[in-house]
Structure 1
Amino acid sequence: MIELRGLTKRYGEKLAVDGLSFTVRPGIVTGFLGPNGAGKSTTMRMILGLDAPTRGDVRIDGKHYAQLQEPLNHIGALLEAKGVHGGRTARNHLLCLAQSNGIPERRVGEVLEMVGLTAVARKRPKGFSLGMGQRLGIAAALLGDPDILMFDEPVNGLDPEGIHWIRTLMQHLAREGRTVFVSSHLMSEMALTAEHLVVIGQGKLLADTSMSRFIEENSRTYVRIRTPEPERMRDMLIAEGLRPSPGEDGAMEVEGDDAARIGELCAAERLVLHELSPQRASLEEAFMRLTAETVEYHAHTGPEAVAAEPASPAPAWGADWNRGKDGKG
């Protein structure tokens, strides 16, 4: 378990981490999200004792990192995959780590096999690709068979097979009862991997909740409908207390997720449907919505992206779309 209480880090005038308090619990994969500059890497460095907090406290199973005897047996971490001695072979790099933490030599071969680097164990990492460097960093994190694992951008440079492998590995480790804490900017992958989310922005905690609740609370859910009889459909929905609005491609949208009820109403009224589909936001959409005001570094595709956007055109179905036949709302 990792526990943060009021964790704060200031670099001169820059407040990088601002009073973070949360707990990373065993048995689930916890995702750590935030825009660039949000303070994720600084937080992870303080967990490992690489940076000292300005205020607050962080503990690993009740102890500060510096108090851990043979720390690789307690927590394994991947923060910087290229942080290895380029002159040592991959095997010797891991062997030095093992010897410094009382880990048996046989474990080196086991983790090399686990991450798929046995064939290059005698090669120097300075010649490794980004993906191979990531695998070596993951091997180092696994070396002590720790109960806590922490990964910063673990899928960087990995091919699809490697991404699937690390996702499966993290979920397997969590099912064994370990604490797994992972930071990534690849939202589609995080959505498949994590069960719980901690989200920060400008150093402050924005969310500490389950994946499903995070998406539900930070996104729009609606039912998309396409029919060759839009006027009859609109009138029927309004009569049932629903408020349809125009969508893309001539479809209409109804807030909420009660597609089954709408389908039953259409069947009762013998209304033809070409599409009836619940629409739920992705993790990326929910994340963008929550963190929109905390993004520190904005990019633009060109000069036209900086200019104010033109006003949206009026709905194709007119201003009376949500009104009844008498023109009243």
Structure 2
Amino acid sequence: MVGMIELEGLTKRYGEKVAVDNLSFGVAPGIITGFLGPNGAGKSTTMRMVLGLDRPSAGDVRIDGRHYHQLKDPLTHIGALLDAKAVHGGRSAYHHLLCLAQANGIPDRRVHEVLDTVGLTAVAKKKAKGFSLGMGQRLGIAGALLGDPRILMFDEPVNGLDPEGIHWIRNLMKTLAGQGRTVFVSSHLMSEMALTADHLVVIGQGRLLADTSMARFIAENSRSYVRVRTPQRERLLDALAGAGIEVVESGAEVLEVDGDKSAAIGELAARHQVVLHELSPQRASLEEAFMRLTAESVEYHAHDGQTPAGQSPAAPGQAWGSDWRNS
């Protein structure tokens, strides 16, 4: 399939440390695939191996059936933003992109096109060392787009972008996927990923935890329930018990019922003439689902600064509850 990234048993070791552990998954065209995992999960290392920047210890990764070094014109196959700071600070935005274009047989006119796409035309002749983090991100994205590739790979593309810039990159990725291109993006901003990605690949400690649609991921890794508020709490509790509907949690005026039973509860309340002040289905966010799935894969655990019972205060420079084994 054109525009396909395929990983099979991909593994990367640094001495005794296993950064990526037997990863197998595919990234398909026409959708945005989000790549999630806690810090240190192996996301950046995996992306570097896709581009041939790191050599796998085992396994294989292919782009359209070939290794990156086998691609005749790699920038026309895959464009990537891995490190926005990987720019010669003494070069202007224009000359940075021009060097990339000339080294890869890309027409000079394409430089002007991508500068316009990312909104840097007005500062094209300014040196990159004077760019803000957000401007650097835009320049890195321009470099990824330079070869008009079928595959785009972005590592934390919204770092340093203001709200307008975040909105822009979100729409850009959706446009690229809508054109049938492959878009593979990692981010720590769960709220943004929830608005952007169609499919998710989640890893923890280098291992695959999930490879599924956004909707299915949230459904399988979170709790959905109905929140009910009523001044006639006891009357509603009796009605729910009579219908075999179990209340999971209850407060003074608030009841919670697992599952998506809002219609049944509303009809039941109407039949028993119970006044409802709230009847709202509650569905977990992507962040909540992600935290639940990856709880056992987080390498560094920070706590609230309170000394656990029986434990001595932390030594200077050591954070409470942090796991320093691999720092």
Under TM normalisation by the shorter chain, which class is it? over 0.9
Matched residues in 2 for 1:104 and 1:215: separation? 44
Q: Which residue of 2 aligns with 1:120?
A: 123
Give the 5 Å matches for 1:244-283.
244-247=247-250, 250-283=253-286
Deviation of 1:112 after TM superposition, in Å, equals 0.3
1:42 matched to 2:45: yes
Helix, strand or coil for the counterpart of 1:244?
Answer: coil
Q: Which residue of 1 aligns with 2:137?
A: 134
Q: Which residue of 1 aligns with 2:28?
A: 25
Of 14, 18, 24 in structure 1, the residue corresponding to residue 17 of structure 2 is 14
CA contact (8 A) 1:31 1:195 kept: yes
Q: Tell me the TM-score normalised to structure 1 length.
A: 0.92
Matched residues in 1 for 2:304 and 2:145: separation? 41
Deviation of 1:302 after TM superposition, in Å, equals 1.1
Of 73, 77, 85 in structure 2, the residue corresponding to residue 74 of structure 1 is 77
Deviation of 1:247 after TM superposition, in Å, equals 4.2
Deviation of 1:258 after TM superposition, in Å, equals 1.7
Of 84, 93, 96 in structure 1, the residue corresponding to residue 87 of structure 2 is 84
1:173 matched to 2:176: yes
1:214 matched to 2:217: yes
Deviation of 1:248 after TM superposition, in Å, equals 5.5
Question: What does the per-residue CA deviation read over 1:92-130, in whole Å, with 9 as the maximum and x for residues that have no partner?
Answer: 000000011111100000000100000110011111000
CA contact (8 A) 1:70 1:100 kept: no
Deviation of 1:300 after TM superposition, in Å, equals 2.2
Matched residues in 2 for 1:307 and 1:187: separation? 34
Question: What does the per-residue CA deviation read over 1:163-221, in whole Å, with 9 as the maximum and x for residues that have no partner?
Answer: 00000000110010000000000000000000000000000000000000000000000
Deviation of 1:249 after TM superposition, in Å, equals 6.3
1:150 matched to 2:145: no
CA contact (8 A) 2:31 2:178 kept: yes
Helix, strand or coil for the counterpart of 1:177?
Answer: coil
Question: What does the per-residue CA deviation read over 1:132-177, in whole Å, with 9 as the maximum and x for residues that have no partner?
Answer: 0000000000000000000000000000000000000001100100
Question: What does the per-residue CA deviation read over 1:263-306, in whole Å, with 9 as the maximum and x for residues that have no partner?
Answer: 111111111000000000000000000000000011223125x5
Deviation of 1:61 after TM superposition, in Å, equals 0.5
Q: What RMSD in Å do the two structures reach over aligned CA positions?
A: 1.1
Matched residues in 1 for 2:78 and 2:253: separation? 54
Consecutive unaligned residues of structure 2, counting only runs of 5 or more, are 311-327
Q: Which amino acid aligns with 1:282?
A: S
Q: Which amino acid aligns with 1:25?
A: A
Cα distance 1:248–1:136, how it changes in 2: closer, same or farther (>3 A)? Answer: farther
CA contact (8 A) 2:231 2:253 kept: no
Of 107, 110, 130 in structure 2, the residue corresponding to residue 107 of structure 1 is 110
Helix, strand or coil for the counterpart of 1:289?
Answer: helix
Q: Which residue of 2 aligns with 1:298?
A: 301
* 4+ residue segments displaced more than 2 Å: 245-250
Q: Which residue of 1 aligns with 2:56?
A: 53
Deviation of 1:40 after TM superposition, in Å, equals 0.2
1:241 matched to 2:244: yes
Q: Which residue of 2 aligns with 1:189?
A: 192
Matched residues in 2 for 1:230 and 1:154: separation? 49
Aligned residues: 307
Helix, strand or coil for the counterpart of 2:209?
Answer: strand
Question: What does the per-residue CA deviation read over 1:51-98, in whole Å, with 9 as the maximum and x for residues that have no partner?
Answer: 000000000010100001121111000000000111111100000000
Deviation of 1:245 after TM superposition, in Å, equals 2.9
Helix, strand or coil for the counterpart of 1:213?
Answer: helix
CA contact (8 A) 2:20 2:205 kept: yes
| Percent of aligned positions that are identical | 76
Matched residues in 2 for 1:106 and 1:258: separation? 58
